[in-house]
Structure 1
Amino acid sequence: MDQVYDAIVVGAGIMGCSTAYNIIKTGQRALLLEQFPLPHTRGSSHGQSRIIRKAYGGEGDHYTKMMPEAFKKWAALEQETGTTLFKQTGILFCGSEGESFIKDVLKSLHKHSMPFTSLDSCALGKKYPMLRYPMDTVAVEDPSGGILFSDKSLAAFQKAFINHGGVLLDNEPMLDVYPGDIVTVKTNKGSYRGRNLVLTVGPWATKVLPSLGVHLPLKAVHVNVFYWKEKVRGTYSVGKCPVVIQEHGDRHDHFYGIPSFEYPGLYKFCCHHGPEIDPDRRDDVDTSWVLEKTKACVANNFPLLEPTPAIRETCIYTLAPDHNFILDRHPTMSNVIIGAGFSGHGFKLAPVVGKLLCELVMNKTPSYDMSPFRIDRFYKSSKL
């Protein structure tokens, strides 16, 4: 209890680990707390793979601007820890001709002068015969993207944090916060003091933030992760099939596929949505509609996969209404920093998010425009 840390980071998912790592690299004293025993599969950062890409459609151009630095920082972490974290496979964006999804991806690629290849349905079928799409499908191939090895990435940040002198304590849930110039965090095992507190608590933001007087329109969502057996082993493997991101119609018809490598002979294909949940009762919800929706998509677009998944796993997204992150100070406690609402697309940006949250801790001018991430964007007439 006598020691005062420069920063206490609560939540050792990918964002908390990156933030703690960035803080400790500056020479600050940092404590990283995690409520569950590590490693665990209860939150949003577990599993073997995540997609990494540069192109963002619609209003996500601020993320595209961050991605060159994210790629560099992932490479630096690979070098520092001697761990391979990235596999370049290319990204194939598929959608209906004339719809905003493909138009926005193309706009992003053009704007940032990134190389790409456009494919109509005929060319798509010839290049990737394991895929089957309607005649009005347009595809855009971005060769720069691929797969992040998420479990290894999380472990690499934790290892690097500890190697730089950081303190990581797991199986220690936060029970209370006592604000002040020195913030006190009470857990089930003790109390810790810090000049700054960073909350990167994933889906538990829906519970923790209201207890601190911050009421944000966040929701935790149950996401099914499905793995489908190849009818002919190797058909959808790395080197033959790229990462696929497809959207037809509205957001709820958004799916993604990752080539088979995690489980031999199994292709990862998932719906990007699911029902709202209490993160402490993650599995007490009906997800049968997600399975049926995904099975229909597999039957229509992936003819060389078996029609039912061989493995089902679970992840949780924490969604903001605009699908933008929350990276900001508590409205009345300036030394409490919040990182939340990563909306199912934040993992690849974790090195940059950690840097930005570290800059807030150290009262530095942020490296990027923070207006898309501020809390007050949800409230037109008041701070809260």
Structure 2
Amino acid sequence: MEHADEVYDVIVVGAGIEGSSTAYNLAKFGKRTLLLEQFPLPHSRGSSHGQSRITRKAYGSRDFYTQMMAEAFAMTDELQKECGEQLFINCGCLVIGPRTADFLSKTKSCLKRYGIPHDQFDIYEQRKRFPALSFRDDFEFVLDKSGGLLRSDKILQAFQRQFVRYGGVLCDGEPMIDLYPGTIVSVKTTKGLHRARSVVLTLGPWAAKFLPRLGLNVPLQPLKITVCYWKEKHGGNFNIENFPTFTMNGAAGKHHIYGLPACEYPGLVKICLHHGPNIDPDNRDGVENDWVLDAMKLIIATHFPSLEKEPSIVETCIYTNTPDEDFVLDVHPTWKNIVIGAGFSGHGFKLAPVVGKVLGELATGQKPSYDLSHFKINRFFKTKL
């Protein structure tokens, strides 16, 4: 005889930042929720580990993200109050690029359009404010004063901790083996069978492997991102008290890079290439990526001469990219109680509070708080699903 308490309202599979935020939002609003994670927590095998991420409000021409970011900031602030810990450091986010760069002009337009406080300045002002940087005279700089640094490991733990406090059930070290659709969805794991009225799949890079089993051949490509920390030759120029987070297009070799001030490791600045080689998430270290380090060394020598030529620490993260680098936030075309959150393309962490809210709304049959037309699965297919 089946007991009602054996059926959850929602099962969330994958306890990275998107899954943990989803589970938190569901439990906070009284939904009986199970959060499953394949690895013992905490772990560094996916996309949500590490101590810091960039956040900002401006999003170029993608206004739908800028609109979401306003609530993401408010929800992060609310989480800070709930857990009594600082999760966001408002050190600003500096956008760097040649004056003619499309990325730069769209950022400026977005900041003006939404009335986001910012400074815009040329190379001469940059040399006064941030003398440790080296750029050609045709570069320009825009400082988004609303932006800064997210303490990512603390945010992930806060979502998980608060989820449990709101009555959620968290099971780590329990990989999903299979999923059986139906009015009640069944999730088979290495430890048993769990059932729920709906399921949210936030599988990170493993979505590329699992979703085809549900008939969803979404074009997802996991990438290995090389996370580099560079030592200052003479300390003090890149402290979080006097240096912002930053993103840059048009660096040496025309690469897109991002960076964060010395925060995680004393005197070490985090600067990384926003790209990497294609990988299988179960064999992420079995791929050649010397070209990434070669590109980064050239960028450091050209634009950051006050940093040592070789990185002091190298770590690994995984992006899961879609062709257009926009997310997948949608329901299965056949089984509407199977919800997909995937393809966060290296910029999903800052939006995670809102993503969790939206995925929770989809899982409980509510009207989403945002227009999700940009995030539909069928955008990738000529014959619509």
1:16 aligns with 2:19: yes
Contact 1:36 1:170 in 2 (8 A): yes
Shift of 1:381: 2.4
For residue 314 of structure 1, the aligned residue among 291, 313, 316 is 316
Matches within 5 A, 1:108-187: 108-187=110-189
Q: 2:15, 2:364 → 1: CA distance?
A: 20
1:251–1:273 Cα change, 3 Å: farther
Q: 1:27, 1:94 → 2: CA distance?
A: 44
Pick which of 31-40 and 296-305 moved more.
296-305
Matches within 5 A, 1:266-305: 266-305=268-307
Q: 1:186, 1:361 → 2: CA distance?
A: 19
Contact 1:183 1:196 in 2 (8 A): yes
Instruction: State the secondary structure of the residue aligned to 2:75.
Output: helix
Shift of 1:84: 1.0
Pick which of 6-15 and 359-368 moved more.
359-368
Pick which of 374-383 and 308-317 moved more.
374-383
For residue 38 of structure 1, the aligned residue among 38, 41, 58 is 41
Q: Which runs of 5+ in 2 are unaligned?
A: none
Q: Tell me the residue number matched to 1:5.
A: 8
* Identity across the alignment (%): 53
For residue 25 of structure 1, the aligned residue among 20, 25, 28 is 28
Contact 1:11 1:202 in 2 (8 A): yes
Instruction: State the secondary structure of the residue aligned to 2:350.
Output: helix
Contact 1:252 1:273 in 2 (8 A): no
What number of residue pairs does the alignment pair up?
Answer: 382
TM-score of the two chains, using structure 1 as the length reference: 0.98
Contact 2:251 2:257 in 1 (8 A): no
Shift of 1:126: 1.4
Instruction: State the secondary structure of the residue aligned to 2:70.
Output: helix
Pick which of 150-159 and 235-244 moved more.
235-244
Deviations, residues 135-175 of structure 1 (Å, cap 9, x unaligned):
11011111110000000000000000000000000000000
Q: Tell me the residue number matched to 2:195.
A: 193
CA RMSD of aligned residues (A): 1.3
Shift of 1:380: 2.8
Shift of 1:251: 11
1:27 counterpart letter in structure 2: G
Q: 2:50, 2:116 → 1: CA distance?
A: 29
Instruction: State the secondary structure of the residue aligned to 1:346.
Output: coil
Q: Which runs of 5+ in 1 are unaligned?
A: none
Q: Which of structure 1's runs of 4+ aligned residues deviate more than 6 A?
A: 249-252
2:8 counterpart letter in structure 1: Y
For residue 93 of structure 1, the aligned residue among 88, 92, 95 is 95
